[in-house]
Structures are given as C-alpha cells and as structure tokens.
C-alpha cells in the first residue's frame, strides 16, 4: 500500500501515488457512503468510471450497488498454457485469420444459436421468474455466447518466460450483463429517491437493500451474468484451441484459468460478512491464481494472491487507462504507436487512428502497476505478446 487518506468518514487505502482528482473524488464518495464497511481500497490501475473508480474495491453492509459492479458484469480474463514452445509469423497470421473468421468480434453475433448446454443453467433454485431480465435476454444470449465484444476486449497469443506459448482472452457478459445492470441501476435510483436520497444523485451510487426482493433478484441475475461471462470466454478459448490444434495437431493445453473482475460477492472480512464490490479488480486470495494483463504492447502476468486483508484480498485487473478513449485518439501519434509494436515484432490491431484508444500509449506502465502491489500478489509467469485480435 502506498498511502491512506483519512479525511473522509472511512479511510481510503491507495496502491498508487498518481491518482487523478476525478478518480479520487469518486473514491471519497464511496468512503462517505452511510453503509460502507471499514475502508475503500483503490488498486494501482485505478481510473475514473461511472460512480465507482475502475480498480476500486468497496465492501458494504446490508446493501448492494449495481454501479459498483458496472455494466459489463462478470467481465474478466482466462488463460491457457499450450505445449508449444514457439509460433513463427506465418503460423501466427494463419491462426489470427482463422480466429477472425470464426469468433464474432465487436458488435457481431453468431448467425445461429449456440448449443444451449454451454449456457449457465436456470436450475439450482433459480427459475425464469427469479431471473426475469436473463430470461428475457436468453434467446439473444445464445447468439452472443462465444463472441468477443469491443473496446479493450482481446484474444492474445503470448510467449511465457516458462518457455511455452499461452492463449489469453479478455471478455464479459455481452448484452445480457448490460441489460441486467441498467435495469437494476434504474430500480436502485428509484429506491434511493423514494427513501430520502441518502446518496446524492450525482455520485451515481444508487443502492438496493440486500434483503429486498429487487436486491435479491439483482444478486441472482448478477451471479448468472458472471457465469455467462465465464462460459463466453470458455467457448472462445475452446475455438482458439481447436484452431491451434488444426495447425499443430500434437498440441496439448493446460486447464483453463479464469477470473472475473466486475462483480459483487458475499465474503467475510475483518470478522463480518459483507458484500464486496470489485469493479475492475481481481480477487487475490492467499494462494489463488490470477491474471493481470498489460496492453497489446506490454507484458501480462499470471500471479498468485497473498490474501492481503487491507485490499479485501484483491489486486489490479490490468494496467489501467492513462488516457481516455477520445483523449488517446487526439493525443497519441499513430506512426509512433505502430512503430512501437512492430519493433517488438507484435502482430497488433492498430489499423486506424480510431484504434489508438487501445494503443499501448493509452495505458499505464504495467511494470509500475505490478511494482505497486507486491504486497498483494507474486508473479508466477510473465507473458510477452506475440499477436492480438481486438474487437
């Protein structure tokens, strides 16, 4: 931890020393919530979000905050180690071409519904009546399962310092998560206004009482979206494994590592059962394996958590943005950003000036981000980018 701010109702514990004023104000808003538990933890990749900073961790008692999870519920990372020790440029290009042909990117969906068996089940005490938004969006979800989406989502081939090629995928719950998030955030706004507006509207942190019917429905639907996001990543990973095996039939693959970084969960911290909201933050329980990606121009990491209670056993979810999307398009030099990637021999996704929003220069230095959280995680494997597909 870098420092603690003690000027608000609850402390703010920071794992970075370069927090901007807008992000800091969002952290202060969290620290002044009447139902916040113990303290706010701000990870080293933090930057401004809607209501809560991306890279923020906040625990609450008795309430749940949809905007403290965000619209891409369950967004996260998965990774697999292959038995390959190298892939040359022609092989990488063939794999990327096959990925682009078979994995829908951006706003694209599958033309036919995917096998229903890959979708999370309604069972285990969950009915369509108890998951109304999921049930409404289920048919479209069958078209979205195994699709990447846009923004900072990616499929990347990497070479680890363990001597093996890895596959890494970053994606979320697609439109199902978006619909669930918007529905319950609106209900939270209605509840907040009708019960004395305990939270100022401009904070964008409207809440639902956890024991209430809407609070319980949100918890169930959010959990389903977390499972859908994991199933979505697993479907894409299965396809990428199939593509690699088509070119290299003897390839074997390690078990899937999968972590979410946008969700809320009941956990025990400092002797109390609380709802921990992680928005752009990854669970880093003691001994737990996590994934912290860099940008398409920097290394990524497989890490092991240390279970630090001061971060609610959490760590960063990536490098974190240095520049906003439009700001990156305005300020970054297209020629320099492309040259940076090509000098490293990376098959990248910067084709047009609009792609600068995902250029390496738009992100923080991952080495500094990792260095700031050495009390939260230890590095297991360092992964150098070889080739990337973006949405």
Q: Are 22 and 10 in contact (CB under 8 A)?
A: no
For residue 295 the two structure tokens come to 């940008």
pLDDT, position 126: 75
pLDDT, position 128: 81
For residue 343 the two structure tokens come to 């000098």
pLDDT, position 348: 92
Bridge partner residues of 169 (DSSP): 78, 155
Domain ranges of the chain: 3-322+363-390
Cα atoms in the 13 Å half-sphere on the side-chain side of 345: 10
Percent of the chain residues topping a pLDDT of 70 = 99
The answer to whether the predicted template modeling score (pTM) of the entire model surpasses 0.85 is yes
Q: For all residues of the chain together, what is the average pLDDT?
A: 95
pLDDT, position 124: 63
**Gyration radius (Cα) of the chain, Å:** 20
> Beta-carbon neighbour count of residue 171 at 10 Å?
30
pLDDT tens for 30-79 read 999 999 999 999 999 999 999 999 999 999 999 999 999 999 999 999 99
pLDDT, position 197: 86
pLDDT tens for 303-318 read 999 999 999 999 999 9
pLDDT, position 125: 65
List the chain residues with pLDDT less than 50.
none
Q: Is 352 a catalytic residue?
A: no
Which among 38, 109, 317, 348 is annotated as catalytic? 317
| Alpha-carbon dihedral sign for residues 258, 292, 377, 269 | negative
Helix (H) or strand (E) holding 14: strand 12-14
> Whose structure tokens read 């870098």?
2
pLDDT, position 9: 98
Architecture in CATH of 3-322+363-390:
Alpha-Beta Complex (3.90)
CA 79 to chain centre: 13
pLDDT, position 129: 86
pLDDT, position 117: 77
């Amino acid at each position: 931890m870098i420092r603690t701010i003690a000027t608000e109702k609850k402390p703010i514990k920071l794992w970075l020393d370069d927090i901007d004023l807008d992000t800091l104000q969002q952290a202060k808003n969290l620290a002044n919530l009447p139902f916040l538990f113990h303290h706010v933890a701000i990870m080293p990749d933090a930057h401004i979000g809607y209501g809560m900073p991306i890279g923020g961790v906040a625990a609450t008692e008795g309430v749940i905050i949809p905007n403290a999870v965000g619209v891409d519920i369950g967004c996260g990372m998965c990774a697999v180690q292959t038995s390959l020790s190298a892939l040359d440029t022609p092989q990488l290009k063939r794999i990327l071409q096959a990925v682009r042909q078979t994995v829908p990117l951006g706003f694209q969906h599958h033309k036919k519904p995917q096998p229903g068996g890959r979708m999370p089940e309604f069972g285990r005490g969950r009915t369509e009546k108890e998951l109304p938004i999921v049930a409404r969006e289920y048919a479209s979800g069958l078209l979205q399962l195994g699709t990447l989406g846009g923004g900072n989502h990616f499929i990347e081939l990497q070479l680890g310092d363990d001597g093996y090629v890895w596959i890494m995928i970053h994606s979320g719950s697609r439109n199902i998560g978006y619909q669930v998030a918007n529905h319950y955030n609106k209900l939270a706004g209605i509840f907040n206004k009708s019960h004395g507006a305990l939270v100022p509207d401009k904070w964008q942190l409207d809440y639902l009482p956890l024991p209430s019917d809407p609070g319980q429905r949100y918890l169930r639907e959010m959990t389903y979206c977390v499972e859908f996001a994991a199933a979505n990543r697993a479907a894409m990973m299965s396809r990428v494994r199939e593509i690699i095996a088509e070119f290299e039939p003897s390839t074997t693959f390690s078990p899937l590592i999968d972590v979410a970084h946008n969700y809320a969960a009941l956990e025990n911290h400092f002797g109390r059962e609380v709802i921990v909201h992680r928005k752009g933050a990854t669970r880093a329980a003691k001994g737990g394996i996590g994934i912290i990606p860099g940008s398409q121009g920097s290394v990524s990491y497989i890490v092991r958590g240390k279970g630090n209670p001061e971060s609610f056993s959490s760590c960063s979810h990536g490098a974190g943005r240095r520049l906003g999307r439009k700001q990156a398009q305005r300020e970054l030099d297209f020629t320099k950003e492309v040259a940076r990637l090509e000098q490293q021999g990376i098959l990248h996704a910067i084709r047009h000036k609009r792609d600068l929003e995902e250029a390496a220069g738009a992100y923080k230095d991952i080495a500094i981000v990792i260095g700031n959280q050495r009390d939260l995680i230890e590095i297991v494997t360092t992964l150098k980018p070889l080739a990337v597909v973006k949405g």
